[in-house]
Chains A and B, each alone.
Chain A
Amino acid sequence: MIILHALGAYGSVIALCIIFCVPKKYLNLSGMVGTVGWLIYILLSGNTSTEMFPMFLAALIVSVISHIFARWKKAPVTLFLIPGILPLVPGVGMYRIVYYFMLEGSQSNMTSYYFVYTLQMAGMIAIAIFITDTFFKVFFRHPR
């Protein structure tokens, strides 16, 4: 199960990297960042009732790892951050918004629930990136 998830996450992140023209030498590292992020999210959200905290933690670790890799390889952080964050983007939430929006009748009030849910997920990612960026800016001054 976990191996399937790891394979899927790795494959999808590598494919996205190729679509966004990440150079060959960074493909493997970006794939690893994305895989780690997704595994953390899926393992934690399976065992806890809330989904916000796993999302926050996954995004936090993804951005910390990408900052570390960026300093190690002397490359822009974006190179690892964007592919790493992409599997976490709340696509499922968006689908559910549309799905419930089209159902007329009793279930249509689920739309606003999933709208808030999707915004919360995106907000968690934003806060995680905020915190990591600030942390690295304060403690590791360096030429980008």
Chain B
Amino acid sequence: MPLNPFSVDYHLIADTAMLAGEIMLVAGAETYRVEDTMIRILKTSQFDRCDAFVVPTGIMLTLEDWRIGTISLNRRIGEKQTNLGNIEKVNDISRKYCCEELTLKETFHQLKYMQSVSYPHWVTYLAMIICAPCFVLILGGRFRELFIAAFNGLFIILSKMMNQKLKINNFVLNLFASYLIAFTSSLFQHLLYEDLLLEPLITGSVMVLLPGVAMTTGIRDTLEGDFMSGGARMIEAFVIAASVAVGIGIGLSSCNLIFSLF
């Protein structure tokens, strides 16, 4: 099909691809998936060169054709919020667009005014409270550990709320949450139950904070040959794990210190 400069709005194609990529990257998709989706959208312009370059902190795209010119956009991605539902939604929309079930304008409109997938706040908070006891259960905890773990879930909610209100960076927040968890668990052991199993209790409670998402996406990015993003994600996973570990360490030892003084 010959290229007609006036038939399609090429800038809109570039914008659509950028928007799709931005939503996916913010939602925590693997970079190769973001690149793949963007290039599929860009290819519909039938330009000579369609390139998308994605790293975990930014997106660049270029459409190049000697008959029309060059369109180039880049965007910086800041704060990330893991949202697997949004990845699925954008995937679905871009698939429909590439199968020509949606026109370009409809696609752009749907992406622009896409309702972000989310549960009500109380459901998320409830999930955070339920999550910890369930992990304690499968790690070998007993009834009393379950109750204390549910109590520890409150600290995770507290740290999430602080994240929304105060915008402190994640390292400090994870450290703070795991410190509180370790400190209270240790306190319960000293004050109430001598034989409290600290290992399943603390591990189960901090499981929500552990970097499962960063680890999985890092592994898959590395496999796709995207070493820069893969490496960055691995470091992210390592840093998160380190912050949680440091928090646990400080919490346990400070509690031990207090009780050794008296």
Contact B88 A79 (CB under 8 A): yes
> Which 10 A-B pairs give the minimum distances between C-beta atoms?
A12-B134, A8-B137, A15-B131, A18-B127, A11-B134, A8-B138, A15-B127, A86-B212, A21-B83, A21-B85
Within 8 Å CB of B139, what residues of A?
91-92
Contact A18 B119 (CB under 8 A): yes
Apart from A20-B83, A102-B253: 4 A-B pairs, beta carbons within 8 A: A19-B128, A23-B88, A78-B84, A91-B210
Distance in angstroms from B258 CB to nearest chain A CB is: 15
Task: Name A's B-contacting residues (CB within 8 A).
Answer: 4-5, 7-9, 11-12, 14-23, 26, 38, 42, 74-76, 78-79, 81-82, 85-87, 89, 91-92, 94-99, 101-102, 122, 125-126, 129-130, 133-134, 143-144
Q: Majority SS of interface residues in chain A? A: helix
Q: Determine the interface band of chain B, counting residues with CB < 8 A from chain A.
A: 35 or more
Distance in angstroms from A41 CB to nearest chain B CB is: 10
Within 8 Å CB of A26, what residues of B?
88
Q: Which of B40-89 contact A (CB under 8 A)?
A: 82-88
Per-residue A-contact encoding for B125-137, CB less than 8 Å = 1, 0 else: 0011011001101
Any A CB within 8 A of the CB of B223: yes
Contact B253 A91 (CB under 8 A): no
Jot down 30 A-B pairs with beta carbons below 8 A, ordered by A.
A4-B137, A7-B134, A8-B134, A8-B135, A9-B138, A11-B134, A16-B127, A17-B84, A18-B119, A18-B124, A19-B131, A20-B83, A22-B85, A38-B138, A76-B84, A78-B84, A78-B216, A78-B217, A86-B210, A87-B207, A91-B139, A94-B203, A98-B249, A98-B252, A101-B249, A102-B253, A125-B215, A129-B220, A130-B219, A133-B220
Q: Which of B186-220 contact A (CB under 8 A)?
A: 199-200, 202-204, 206-208, 210-213, 215-217, 219-220
Within 8 Å CB of B246, what residues of A?
98
Distance in angstroms from B171 CB to nearest chain A CB is: 16
Given contacts A91-B206, A129-B220, contact A15 B128 (CB under 8 A): yes
Task: Name B's A-contacting residues (CB within 8 A).
Answer: 29-30, 33, 36, 82-88, 91-92, 95, 98, 116-119, 123-124, 127-128, 130-131, 134-135, 137-139, 199-200, 202-204, 206-208, 210-213, 215-217, 219-220, 223, 241, 244-246, 248-249, 252-253
* 8 Å CB contact of A87 from B135, B219, B223: B135
Within 8 Å CB of B30, what residues of A?
78
Within 8 Å CB of A21, what residues of B?
82-86, 116-119
